Structure 1
């Protein structure tokens, strides 16, 4: 077996792409030398080229093909898969074989319904029990309803979804892992409207989402918004605020030092000591309001974690914000109708703030001239 497969692999790799498309799809699982294989294998080859059987029993039929290791063909000319993608208003995180004579394909943009661009999937992406159904929202897991991907029931912090309405009755799911680990891009444009946080607008399954580029209308790149911490080497443990990173205190999530740009948080007080982190829920992020001159005020570090309206810290009046002196609480810079104040004399330098409460309004009045 080793020699014939090696020879066939050698001849196949020099065929043009169009010729390679005549191969039928892999069949998983398949039997080779009495062993069952649920994905492409290099066993039996001398050059470590992956292959698969195209019937359920290679020992009997001797029918096989070399496995493709990159996405190929389609009307995208082999452009890589993009996950998640929308097909017939459903969300897919895996390649599918609908209407394709058993061959797996994927969208090469985040929305097949909109762009109609696709490629055949690399065989090395596939395997036995590979989910081919869309995520279903909401779904039931352990008698609890979930309207987004979750880490529930997992110890590794990976986000997943059910592909049936009731996972307890039909335990089949898919990992909610995008093809590119990019953060939400706030603000983003969708149907010519600007969004500063995750939205359900345009979502057919009620899933919160965000674009991963500044303009969804142009690029069709998006991700499902995580509503809880996930991944990292803490396996999705909750954020701990404030935490110390590089001898600096952080009161909210940061993307400093993260190559993908995703926001993260420490899960213990001293990241510098414990080196434990999770990626932050996307719903904790976003832009509150664009400021003048094109600058943006992102969610600033809060004085205390949790509900900042309960902060016992005192406003400092007057304070400097964007070079201007404020002797009262202000709405400047925020989308919200709420009033805020600085907790130091110069917000531009220290960037410490909180929402004002009634006692702060009393204090501000006492500092104003009659």
Structure 2
């Protein structure tokens, strides 16, 4: 076993070296930055032998470097015609992880190095569509197999053979904005126009070409107190009858629905599939 470095010495290398996950310290495996031995000071391994810690560094807690004044990551972002909900080290000379700071690196070329505290083992890269999960093909983020009804995607073509994945969680949990303008055309529903990987998407502001803010459209209900169960219409909410999704009393304006006939009585709900919505 390789003896771990003294974490109190403070002689860690600079943040230019990428974290190595997973790593083993004092017999335990770590898949992300940890504060073990250094309270309120997250750190990670940057060199290992057979998984055991050899060198370490202080983890950066915010984005740094790049060409966008250290602006924070924006997820999802498009790079090389693929959809990223995580940082990536693709095409980076010393393998540091980076992210786009607008919704499209392909168009804007704006980026930062990722805060190390964003990173975790086995979960960096683009969503791959379509992907295979339990012998079924998926061409969008899905809640299949998720106990909390959270949307996720595979980072490999075949999750059954190579189970790497990430949650499809946007930086700003905003709803689709319909209608929105993309290349001088108005869209009143989710579209695949302009999507290299065939993803249904929508803008989250009215003018995509100004803001570059977008999200992959969910094609099924997700999250909520019923873990992504399907909508039930009509439903009763505050003694009123609803025949469609609503964004009443939702902090970010996202649309939701009850998953039983009477929300007042059962308090069961999900966020609506974006493909249910239109202007």
TM-score of the superposed pair, with normalisation by structure 2: 0.91
More helix by share: 1
Match of 1:173 among 136, 146, 165: 165
1:152 paired residue number:
144
2:175 paired with 1:183: yes
1:125 paired residue number:
118
- Partner Cα separation in structure 2 for residue 220 and residue 59 of structure 1: 40
Which deviates more from structure 2 when the two are superposed, residues 52-61 or residues 66-75?
52-61
Match of 2:224 among 225, 228, 232: 232
The structural deviation recorded for 1:269 is 1.6
The structural deviation recorded for 1:88 is 0.6
The structural deviation recorded for 1:165 is 2.7
Q: 1:270 to 1:59 in 2, by over 3 A?
A: closer
Match of 1:104 among 93, 97, 101: 97
2:28 paired residue number:
35
Query: What does 1:1-370 align with in structure 2 at a 5 Å threshold?
Result: 5-6=7-8, 8=10, 21=15, 23-45=16-38, 47-56=39-48, 62-100=54-92, 101-132=94-125, 134-287=126-279
Cα shift readout 1:290-313 (whole Å, capped 9, x = no counterpart):
xxxxxxxxxxxxxxxxxxxxxxxx
> What SS is found at the alignment partner of 2:123?
coil
Q: 1:258 to 1:61 in 2, by over 3 A?
A: closer
Gaps of 5+ in 2: none
CA contact (8 A) 1:84 1:179 kept: yes
- Partner Cα separation in structure 2 for residue 163 and residue 269 of structure 1: 37
Cα shift readout 1:84-139 (whole Å, capped 9, x = no counterpart):
1110111111100012211000000110000000011111111222232x222222
Q: Looking at CA atoms only, which structure, 1 or 2, has the larger radius of gyration?
A: 1
- Partner Cα separation in structure 1 for residue 53 and residue 131 of structure 2: 42
Gaps of 5+ in 1: 13-18, 288-370
CA contact (8 A) 1:137 1:165 kept: yes
Q: 1:151 to 1:36 in 2, by over 3 A?
A: same
Which deviates more from structure 2 when the two are superposed, residues 229-238 or residues 121-130?
121-130
CA contact (8 A) 1:29 1:56 kept: no
Cα shift readout 1:172-224 (whole Å, capped 9, x = no counterpart):
22221111101001111101111111011011111110001111111111000
The structural deviation recorded for 1:62 is 5.0
CA contact (8 A) 1:136 1:161 kept: yes
> What SS is found at the alignment partner of 2:47?
coil
RCO higher in 1 or 2 (8 Å CA, sep ≥ 6)? Answer: 2
Cα shift readout 1:336-368 (whole Å, capped 9, x = no counterpart):
xxxxxxxxxxxxxxxxxxxxxxxxxxxxxxxxx
